[in-house]
Amino acid sequence: MQGIKKQHLPQKTCVACGRPFSWRKKWERHWDEVKYCSDKCRRNKGNPDSD
């Protein structure tokens, strides 16, 4: 991922809130397994109405 500008980072859609999110360095080794944009969405995965 070296040399990639921010606007060209891979994106996914959060399965909990439906918002798009971009690749982060901390997800580098397991990007294919990332489903949620944040810890809050991961905790509320069964209840999409709780914000």
pLDDT tens-place values along the chain, 51 residues long: 566 566 689 999 999 999 999 999 999 999 999 999 999 999 987 665 555
Cα 35 to its chain centre, rounded Å, is: 6
Q: What is the pLDDT of residue 46?
A: 67
Neighbours of 27 (CB within 10 A): 15
**H helix runs in the chain, sequence order:** 39-43
Q: What is the pLDDT of residue 48?
A: 55
Query: Residue 22 forms beta bridges with which residues?
Result: 11
Q: What is the pLDDT of residue 18?
A: 95
